[in-house]
Amino acid sequence: MTRLMKPAEIQAFFSTLQAANPEPKTELAYSTPFELLTAVLLSAQATDVGVNKATAKLFPVANTPQQIWDLGLDGLCEYIKTIGLYKSKAKHLLQTCRMLIDLHDSQVPHSREALEALPGVGRKTANVVLNVAFGEPTMAVDTHLFRLGNRTGLAPGKTPLEVELKLLKRIPPAFMLHAHHWLILHGRYVCQARKPRCWACSVSAVCQFKTKTAAPA
């Protein structure tokens, strides 16, 4: 079983990631909270690159709840059909647009309860919007954060919620705003699922992953 990372090690872990990337950003392209919400809704089981290609065509034509609602299901599907599960995502997005128009004056709500009431918006999506659009220190646990929480000893847990709550408790407040993005980027490019690039890892000294991989020959 992976040893729990000690507080001093957690401090060193995030200090190192911060030094390398002081202002980490999402790799989803957006310019408004609604565009961000749309991109995150479309990103489930899809890559950010794939979502960005679709929204680069969609947003110049429709980037408000009313404009996307006016496209209708078939019209919206034409823009996002390159994304996996696009039909169900289109239905959820249209339902969300209708609720934003009817209940929130076409604005993205700034509360977890209101966000999670939107079709297709779960806890993870709400956390992303609250963090990225509104600057709240939330922790959206995707596959990368779940893996890192367990593999490194930072916040082991059997469920995403357990890992999320441990991360919120164990990460020093000074790092909370950007911790979500540091962990996502580290998981995406260094601490990868099948073959973690331990030889290229800047935080390997404090990581508790014992079966560290050697550099490729």
Amino acid at 26: T
Confidence of residue 204 (pLDDT cuts 50, 70, 90): very high
84 lies in which domain range?
33-132
pTM over 0.95: no
CATH number of the domain encompassing residue 155: 1.10.1670.10
The 10 Å CB-count burial string (b at 16+, else e) for 48-72 is beebbebbeebbeebbbbeebbebe
Residue 207 lies in a domain: no
Residue in 118, 125, 101 with CA at minimum distance from that of residue 43: 125
185/116 same-domain check:
no
Of 81, 102, 132, the residue that ends a domain is 132
Which pLDDT tens digit goes with each residue over 65-80?
Answer: 999 999 999 999 999 9
Q: Where are the alpha helices (DSSP H) in the chain?
A: 7-20, 33-42, 48-58, 65-80, 86-103, 112-116, 123-132, 143-151, 160-170, 176-189
112/171 same-domain check:
no
Residue 37 lies in a domain: yes
Residue 57 appears among annotated catalytic residues: no
Residue 212 lies in a domain: no
**pLDDT for res 2:** 72
91/172 same-domain check:
no
38/15 same-domain check:
no
Choosing from 142, 166, 210, 212, which is the catalytic residue?
Answer: 142
The CA distances from residue 74 to 64, 77, 81, 165, 214, in Å, are 17, 5, 10, 40, 50
Choosing from 25, 48, 57, 124, which is the catalytic residue?
Answer: 124
Residue 156 lies in a domain: yes
128/37 same-domain check:
yes
CATH number of the domain encompassing residue 102: 1.10.340.30
Confidence of residue 45 (pLDDT cuts 50, 70, 90): confident
Q: What's the total number of domains in the chain?
A: 2
Residue 144 lies in a domain: yes
Kindly state the tokens that stand for 68: 């996307």
DSSP per-residue letters across 140-153: ---HHHHHHHHHSS
11/49 same-domain check:
no
Of 99, 132, 165, the residue that ends a domain is 132
Residue 213 lies in a domain: no
DSSP per-residue letters across 9-49: HHHHHHHHHHHH-SS---SS--SSHHHHHHHHHHTTTS-HH
Residue 56 has pLDDT above 70, yes or no: yes
**pLDDT for res 127:** 97
41/66 same-domain check:
yes
Residue 167 lies in a domain: yes
Which pLDDT tens digit goes with each residue over 106-127?
Answer: 999 999 999 999 999 999 999 9
54/108 same-domain check:
yes
What does R_g of the chain's alpha carbons equal in angstroms? 19
Which pLDDT tens digit goes with each residue over 131-186?
Answer: 999 999 999 999 999 999 999 999 999 999 999 999 999 999 999 999 999 999 99
Measured distance CA(182)–CA(62) in Å, rounded: 31
Euclidean distance between the first and the last CA atom of the chain, given in angstroms as a whole number: 29
Of 76, 104, 132, the residue that ends a domain is 132
Measured distance CA(205)–CA(142) in Å, rounded: 24
Residue 101 lies in a domain: yes
Residue 142 appears among annotated catalytic residues: yes
